[in-house]
Structure 1
Amino acid sequence: MATPIDPTSTAFLLAESRKAPLHVGGLQLFEPPEGAGPGFVGDLYRQMQQVEEFEPIFLKRPHRSVTTAGQYFWIEDQEFDLEHHLRHSALPQPGRIRELLDLCSRLHGTRLATERPLWEAHVIEGLADGRAALYTKLHHALVDGVSAMRLLQSVLSSDPDAREMPAPWALRKRRRTKDDANLADVPIKALRTALGISADAAGLPRALVTTLSRGLRNESASLALYAPRTILNQDITAARRFAAQDWPTERLRAVGKATGATINDVLLAMCGGALRRYLIELDALPETSLVAMCPVGLNAKEAGSASTTGGNALGTVMVRLGTDEADPGARLRTIHHSMLEGKAALGSMTPTQILAMSAIGMAPAVLTPLLGLQGHVRPPFNVIISNVPGPRVPQYFNGARLVGMYPLSVPMPGLALNITTTSYAGTMGFGLTGCRRTLPHLQRLLIHLEDELAALESAAGVS
């Protein structure tokens, strides 16, 4: 059965190009269970092949033709080939994390074929320490980053003895819940939805005026009007560089507790300070503060669970990173106040209005490269920074302990760097995805992140 693709997801399909693949990804590291032999990774790969029925989201592909009047629809792939989507790879010697990140960089720079379902998974062996890795990617038209993360996590277990666990793409039976569709309720639900949309639409002009007003006053909202030109905002190539590392969440929490900031504020301050150090090294630091676009996943916030139907529901907040501040404490205060302003702006709108205002704020990021104007006009923002919550306790897959989670995301023309983080079992994993040619020595940002966290600890008086 064909279903129309929502406007946001359609935009991701239309905006994609060879040098700007629009998929999100994830790298997971697993420690084999005690007593596992040398064939553990191969056995894991073969087990993930043994799937008879698939979740619908992993079977659907985009389609448009004359019969659809040019509109994109999701249809089920009638020639689905799991061997195309699930791959088995091995690292070259010496099998360091460096070789793993290089492989993920190359895989992440390759577009997904639109004539097939828009996902791939790569089971990777060859790490010198015996760990196994799983790299996955799903098109942004299929799911947003938060939904992708939760969808892949949904097959993990906190029980180290659990076995015969299904692959993420295997169909899983679900109990009927109160949220399931009831035909008797459809007319009432439809009426409520229609009334809600009408009320949201009536409030859109006011929301637009408020958003523009906040942008003109250089206050945080869904629209930024004061982002400077930087080397981050040039055209890009398809080549990717991926850098990853994690830090104890307790270090960020201690800084936040001492300063009255949130963990997310501290995370953004780490990124702002690291970018300041990086741009100073390249003699490319602008006089005014960089602006980060921070996505807010509305579906995930409301439902709190993985979506098996896909789609995107993203709001945005534009945050001043304080890169014009030399003092790390002052930079953290700037970010904290900027986030408070952004949250207040979102709090005054309904979810539908948030989506509409966020689309307006994101429009220049899509239209500028389409018109070939990157580098000639001010960017709508300088960098994308996302924070995706993950499991709080250790997770296992068929006895293998998950020991690391690192997101890979989407650089775009005019936006050469994307920083995405995810929390997991007391750690905060940073995934930095950038254009290999536009941003030299991207891995140095990892050193700067550590230096900046240490500087924030010193400024906050915590050890």
Structure 2
Amino acid sequence: MPSPIDPTSLAFLLAENRNQPMHVAGLQLFDPPADAGPDFARSLYESALGIEEVGPLFRKHPHHSLGTLGQWVWTDDKQLDIEHHVRHSALPRPGRVRELLELVSRLHGQMLARERPLWEAHLIEGLDDGRIAMYTKLHHALVDGISAMKLMQSVLTTDPDRRGMPLPFDARATGKARKQRETAEQGLTEVPVDALRTAFGLTADAAGLPAALIRSLSKGVRNEASSLSFYAPRSMFNVAITGSRRFAADDWPLERLRAVSKASRTTLNDVVLAMCGGAVRSYLLELNSLPDASLVSMVPVGLKSRTASSESGGGGNAVGSVMVKLGTDLDDPADRLAAIHDSMRAGKEALESMTPNQILAMSAVGMAPSIVIPMLRLNGIVRPPFNLIISNVPGPRSTQYLNGARLTGTYPVSVPMQGMALNITCNSYADLMGFGLTGCRRTVPHLQRLLMHLDDELVALEKATGVA
């Protein structure tokens, strides 16, 4: 039975075009079990093709016609071709991580076919160290980025001896996957659409909204951290983009980041932002494109509303966005970390005085220019609301396995948008922090050099805080 597509999902469908594919993805790397033969990847692929039933989420695709009175609806694909959605690939020699990232970059730039369910899973072998990779992408109309990562991880286990495990699109995994999606945090790019929708339904929160808006505007005008920004400089990232993508990924021991955090009395997320700020600064200096003013990143944050008694808010956790100055105008890494810490703390304090609905509404106001500017084709003409997006998604704290294969790394592959050519998303796993950098291939050249700069910046932070 067709079901109407909700406004949030429809917004992602309508926003999509060839230059702006709207799917999120994840790249997972696995070390086969010791008793695995040379056909381990092939056997995983064949087991995927042989599943008895595909989960409901992976069967639906969008449709509209005269029969639906022009309304977009989800319909169930009765003739699902599993071989179209699950694919088996091998890397060319020499099978380095470089070849893997090149393949992922190419796959991520390809739009999903709307006449079919909006997902693909690629099992990839041929890495020179014997590992296999799984790249899975789903349209943002189906799930947000955070839920997509949790969905991929929901079928894993801590038991290395378990076999016969279902993959995420197998109906056997549906129950656990649904629970994971229901408890997942709200995704970054859902904030503006959900916020606008929620803002129209404000009840008791409405009376406080003008005051909250005035406070946010005041902080924005004074160039202080809040959900609004008026001081982001023009940068090479804030231009029109193409549909071709470039992806780079690596990870660093969480122990190193935590040591810097402890020594500097900052948060782990502050250290992640400082690594990104320093790396972006070095990257732009190489290209002679560093603005005089600090770049501003939009950062999603989870908050505990202080006004839990609000009838419409209902208390609990809220997700908002803070515009954080990355300190790219500062030479010293310690100064940059301190500035980011102060900016994040001020931004959180500004949001914590609001109810969840007010937080979402303020986030919508802050995000609105990033939507309007590309629509009016004003990229590069007016100042952007922020320069890039940086988010940090917590992952499993223990080592995970899939049919005996040990998960050695997990990396988010995100959505660059018009006027926002670079997206950095981090995902912690066990004792690692993985960085996934997704950019427009034409606009962000030599993206992989940002990985080198991230490593250099962590070393610089360790020296500046006395850890090294």
Q: Same fold (TM over 0.5)?
A: yes
- Aligned residue number for residue 419 of structure 2: 414
Is this contact kept in 1: 2:303–2:352, CA < 8 A?
no
Offset at residue 66 of structure 1 (A): 4.8
Offset at residue 127 of structure 1 (A): 1.0
Q: 1:122 to 1:204 in 2, by over 3 A?
A: same
Is this contact kept in 2: 1:314–1:358, CA < 8 A?
no
The residue correspondences of 1:272-283 to structure 2 (distance < 5 A) are: 272-283=277-288
Distance in 2 between residues matched to 1:216 and 1:63, nearest whole Å: 44
Is this contact kept in 2: 1:289–1:323, CA < 8 A?
yes
SS of the aligned residue for 2:171 comes to coil
- Aligned residue number for residue 307 of structure 2: none
SS of the aligned residue for 1:318 comes to strand
Distance in 1 between residues matched to 2:22 and 2:387, nearest whole Å: 18
The residue correspondences of 1:392-431 to structure 2 (distance < 5 A) are: 392-431=397-436
> What whole-Å deviation, never above 9, does each CA across 1:374-429 have from its counterpart, x for those lacking one?
11111111011111111111100000000011111011121111111100110001
Of 359, 378, 381 in structure 2, the residue corresponding to residue 376 of structure 1 is 381
Offset at residue 4 of structure 1 (A): 3.4
Q: 1:248 to 1:403 in 2, by over 3 A?
A: same
> What whole-Å deviation, never above 9, does each CA across 1:168-213 have from its counterpart, x for those lacking one?
0112374999xx9xxxxxxxxxxxx9xx952234443333333222
- Aligned residue number for residue 166 of structure 2: 166
Offset at residue 80 of structure 1 (A): 2.1
- Aligned residue number for residue 156 of structure 2: 156
The residue correspondences of 1:332-371 to structure 2 (distance < 5 A) are: 332-371=337-376
Q: Give TM-score, length-normalised by structure 2.
A: 0.88
Is this contact kept in 1: 2:303–2:348, CA < 8 A?
no
Is this contact kept in 1: 2:319–2:356, CA < 8 A?
no
Q: 1:25 to 1:65 in 2, by over 3 A?
A: same
> What whole-Å deviation, never above 9, does each CA across 1:96-121 have from its counterpart, x for those lacking one?
11110000000000111122221111
Q: Does 1:285 align with 2:283?
A: no
> What whole-Å deviation, never above 9, does each CA across 1:269-323 have from its counterpart, x for those lacking one?
0000011111111111111110001124799xxxxxxxxxxxxx96322111011
Distance in 2 between residues matched to 1:150 and 1:325, nearest whole Å: 36
Is this contact kept in 2: 1:232–1:438, CA < 8 A?
yes
Q: 1:237 to 1:155 in 2, by over 3 A?
A: same
Distance in 1 between residues matched to 2:224 and 2:129, nearest whole Å: 49
What is the letter of the counterpart of residue 49 of structure 2? Answer: Q
Q: Does 1:233 align with 2:238?
A: yes
- Tell which deviates more after alignment, 222-231 or 166-175: 166-175
Distance in 2 between residues matched to 1:78 and 1:211, nearest whole Å: 50
Distance in 2 between residues matched to 1:200 and 1:74, nearest whole Å: 33
Q: 1:69 to 1:228 in 2, by over 3 A?
A: farther
> What whole-Å deviation, never above 9, does each CA across 1:309-353 have from its counterpart, x for those lacking one?
xxxx96322111011111111110111011111212221222232
SS of the aligned residue for 1:232 comes to coil
Q: 1:298 to 1:46 in 2, by over 3 A?
A: farther
SS of the aligned residue for 1:353 comes to helix
- Aligned residue number for residue 88 of structure 1: 88
The residue correspondences of 1:209-220 to structure 2 (distance < 5 A) are: 209-220=214-225
Q: 1:406 to 1:230 in 2, by over 3 A?
A: same
Offset at residue 240 of structure 1 (A): 1.0
SS of the aligned residue for 1:452 comes to helix
- Aligned residue number for residue 5 of structure 2: 5
* Count of matched residue pairs: 435
Is this contact kept in 1: 2:303–2:320, CA < 8 A?
yes
Q: Give TM-score, length-normalised by structure 1.
A: 0.89
Q: 1:340 to 1:298 in 2, by over 3 A?
A: closer
- Aligned residue number for residue 60 of structure 1: 60
Q: Unpaired runs of 5+ in structure 1?
A: 181-192, 300-312
Distance in 1 between residues matched to 2:62 and 2:215, nearest whole Å: 36
